[in-house]
Amino acid sequence: MRRHRQAKIVATVGPASSSPETLRALFDAGVDVFRLNFSHGTHADHRARLDAIRAIEKDVGRPIGVLLDLQGPKLRVGTFADGPVQLLAGERFRLDMDRDRPGDRQRVALPHPEIFAALKPGVDLLIDDGRVRLRVLNCSESHAETEVVVGGTVSDRKGVNVPDVVLPLSALTAKDLADLDYGLQLGVDWVALSFVQRPADVDMAREIVGRRAGLIAKLEKPAAIACLDDIVDRCDAVMVARGDLGVELPAEQVPAIQKRIVRSCRRRGIPVIVATQMLDSMVATPVPTRAEASDVATAIYDGADAVMLSAESASGRYPVEAVQMMDRIIRNTEADPYHREAIDASHTPARPTTGDAIGCATRRVSSLLDVAAIVAYTSTGSSALRMARERPRSPIIGITPQQSTARRLPLAWGVHAVQCEEVSDVLGMSDQACAIAKDEGFAHQGDTIVVTAGVPFGTPGSTNLLRIAEVG
């Protein structure tokens, strides 16, 4: 079940892809990590989907990652007495806390005191994904008088974004806490935290999650970009949530921010997922636009660890075809000689640590000897991630005795995860590495592999050994 590409595919599970048969078809088409979006569906729905994924995992004998995506705070206006209203540019419109009174063309409820606490004159509010823009003229802790800058139709419970301020809101709502507890009990491998504005949001989630799952910071707020490196330092992976970024920031800024996030994650050696509307037209049609194909390829040229499908696989008409298309785009992009040039040109210097030194040396050795595979023994996954950070030419086999680690590694660039028995000495390690590289289809008799590990074995974060071995 080897993938013949380095970048990974994350696919969202939804009504169009919930059956065991479709989930298996998605895996066969190329999915490495399945995303359970807790903004939709019941706990029972998600449990059934996870059980089906684990059944596939058992059948194919390959670790499969499962990502729980938390909803986060949802800021919405109230309802209107007589249906949708049309707001015209230049008009005045009031937002207030009177949730019991239906709205009209002059006002509507905004039952979020946290927003009013952060507002000040000149701040913009965006309604319905930015289709309507209001500018605050004056405000208090219970209301805001605004001018309509960009007019449009507003209807019941449309979402509200406040891009210009940091809102005094926790990234974890009561619903999120319940969902998180349930997901951790189920044994999800990754948790994606929505509405991250500051490093403290990640710290709060880490206190709850601990090391029971990998923690992904979804970067969708301008405030998070302002403290990007501090956030990246605190999490295990990052998701570039371009849909929300594109609402709160001018669309022309999003491509540069995407590249900045990918570079920051690559420097630190943590996985980065590029998400949202990658093959959006395939929700309704069997082929993407050429622009969408180029969008996916751009993320691959930049060295992103994974690209993600949302509605395409969750509710679209062609979920399997979308995965197949994404797989073909990745493989064709990685086969382009310029791809390797771009990856090498964007490589950043390693940090002065023993583990990074081993990773840097392994990259050099694998290039000089044209090795069939790099085998990284790892208990926590950090050794395999160090190898992935180097973006070597050779595929990486992440060998671990820990099932939880094996299930997290499918998100990492170039890493083929294998769960195995623990080894106790260097000779046994080399023999096992050669056998696994051969059995998994990466090497043949007479091929050379590079093996990295930490001695003494089983000590997290102790990568200090590099061994060159010949497959017998």
State the catalytic residues: 35, 76, 218, 276
Q: Alpha helix (H) ranges present in 302-451? A: 311-314, 319-335, 337-345, 354-369, 382-389, 403-408, 426-439
β-pairing verdict for 92-96 and 160-161: unpaired
Residue identified by tokens 């996916």 is: 296
Phi, psi of 453 (to 5 degrees): -165, 175
CA 161 to chain centre: 22
- In 105-194 the beta strands, taken as DSSP E runs, fall at 107-109, 124-127, 132-139, 143-150, 152-154, 160-161, 190-193
Show the tokens assigned to 92.
Answer: 């005045």
Show the tokens assigned to 300.
Answer: 């691959």
C-alpha span between 296 and 100 (Å, rounded): 46
- In 168-241 the beta strands, taken as DSSP E runs, fall at 190-193, 214-219, 237-241
Q: Which of 180, 2, 171, 154 is nearest to 80 (CA)?
A: 154
DSSP 76: B
C-alpha span between 248 and 148 (Å, rounded): 17
C-alpha span between 3 and 64 (Å, rounded): 13
Query: Are 23 and 320 contacting, i.e. CB atoms less than 8 angstroms apart?
Result: no
Residue identified by tokens 């671990």 is: 400
Q: Which of 428, 470, 468 is nearest to 452 (CA)?
A: 468
In 3-state terms the chain splits into helix, strand, coil percentages (rounded to 5) of 40, 25, 35
